């Protein structure tokens, strides 16, 4: 299979008689920020769960980090970071305790975990809140903590599923600064979103509609191709068409 961070050929998923994802074809380069755009219910989360080894596909083929989606799901999980819509944090633990818990899940040795914890707290701007219960954090801080937990084992590929849903515009902007910092370190970032303006921050984007990809290219190329001034207008144009 070709050497891409994420590669799929005609990947599909059925739930009974309903096809949630239809013939998904992707080739995401290492070090790329790839935007997976679409309205709620378009099939983005189903697709990302298949790519992360959390959901078995119904058809097609694919690989993530060089591992087969059908046969090597457990290996995929060990080589990626995954941040879900719900953030998967323990509300009754402090920031530090959440980091230590996930460090244990990823099998980090104690000295490595302590060093990584301090680096993450500093990089994410959470050092002053380290002993705060997660329950008491603003949503933007929970978002940053969830990202930090997904990065503890230093994965080369990070999947972010609707990471900015429900947070304010400033928190969204700050979060995208963190995404770009990750990409500059050589990480592949695969991010799903229904905020079309966030497409402008990606190297390439796909637009998903009713389980299918209806467009895929660089944001500037898509705007030029469809004669639109924003990705929001591109999306509306394609869906109306």
Domain membership of residue 109 (yes or no) is yes
Pair of tokens at residue 183? 């990409």
Distance CA(124)–CA(163), nearest Å, equals: 15
Each residue's pLDDT expressed in tens, for the chain with a length of 241 residues: 668 999 999 999 999 999 999 999 999 999 999 999 998 889 999 999 999 999 999 999 999 999 999 999 999 999 999 998 777 899 999 999 999 999 988 888 988 998 888 888 888 888 998 999 999 998 888 988 999 999 999 999 999 998 888 888 888 888 899 899 999 999 999 999 888 889 999 999 999 999 999 999 999 999 999 999 999 999 999 988 7
Number of domains in the chain: 1
CA torsion through residues 119, 121, 125, 127, sign: negative
Domain membership of residue 163 (yes or no) is yes
Domain membership of residue 17 (yes or no) is no
Domain membership of residue 15 (yes or no) is no
Exposed (0-12), middle (13-18) or buried (19+): which is 2, by Cβ within 10 Å? exposed
- Pairing relation of β-strands 188-193 and 33-38? parallel
Give the CATH number, domain containing residue 48: 3.40.50.300
Number of alpha helices (DSSP H) and beta strands (DSSP E) in the chain: 8, 10
Domain that holds residue 175: 32-56+74-240
Domain membership of residue 18 (yes or no) is no
Domain membership of residue 6 (yes or no) is no
Domain membership of residue 9 (yes or no) is no
Domain membership of residue 24 (yes or no) is no
> How many other β-carbons are positioned within 10 Å of the β-carbon of residue 227?
9
Secondary structure of residue 138 in the 3-state scheme: coil
Distance CA(52)–CA(36), nearest Å, equals: 14
Q: Full-prediction pTM beyond 0.85?
A: yes
């Amino acid at each position: 299979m070709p050497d891409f961070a994420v590669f799929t050929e005609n990947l599909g998923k059925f739930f009974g008689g309903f096809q949630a994802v239809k013939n998904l074809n992707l080739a995401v380069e290492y070090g790329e920020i790839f935007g997976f755009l679409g309205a709620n219910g378009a099939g983005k989360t189903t697709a990302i769960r298949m790519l992360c080894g959390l959901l078995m596909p119904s058809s097609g083929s694919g690989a993530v980090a060089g591992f087969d989606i059908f046969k090597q799901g457990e290996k995929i999980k060990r080589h990626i970071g995954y941040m879900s819509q719900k953030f998967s944090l323990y509300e009754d633990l402090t920031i530090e305790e959440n980091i230590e818990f996930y460090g244990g899940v990823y099998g980090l040795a104690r000295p490595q975990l302590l060093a990584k914890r301090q680096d993450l707290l500093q990089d994410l701007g959470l050092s002053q809140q380290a002993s705060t219960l997660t329950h008491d954090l603003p949503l933007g801080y929970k978002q940053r903590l969830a990202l930090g937990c997904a990065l503890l084992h230093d994965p080369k590929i990070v999947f972010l599923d609707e990471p900015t849903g429900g947070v304010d515009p400033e928190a969204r902007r700050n979060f995208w600064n963190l995404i770009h910092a990750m990409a500059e370190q050589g990480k592949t970032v695969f991010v799903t979103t229904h905020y079309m303006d966030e497409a402008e921050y990606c190297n390439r984007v796909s637009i998903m509609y009713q389980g299918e990809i209806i467009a895929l290219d660089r944001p500037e190329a898509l705007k030029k191709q469809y004669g639109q001034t924003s990705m929001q207008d591109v999306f509306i144009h394609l869906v109306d068409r």
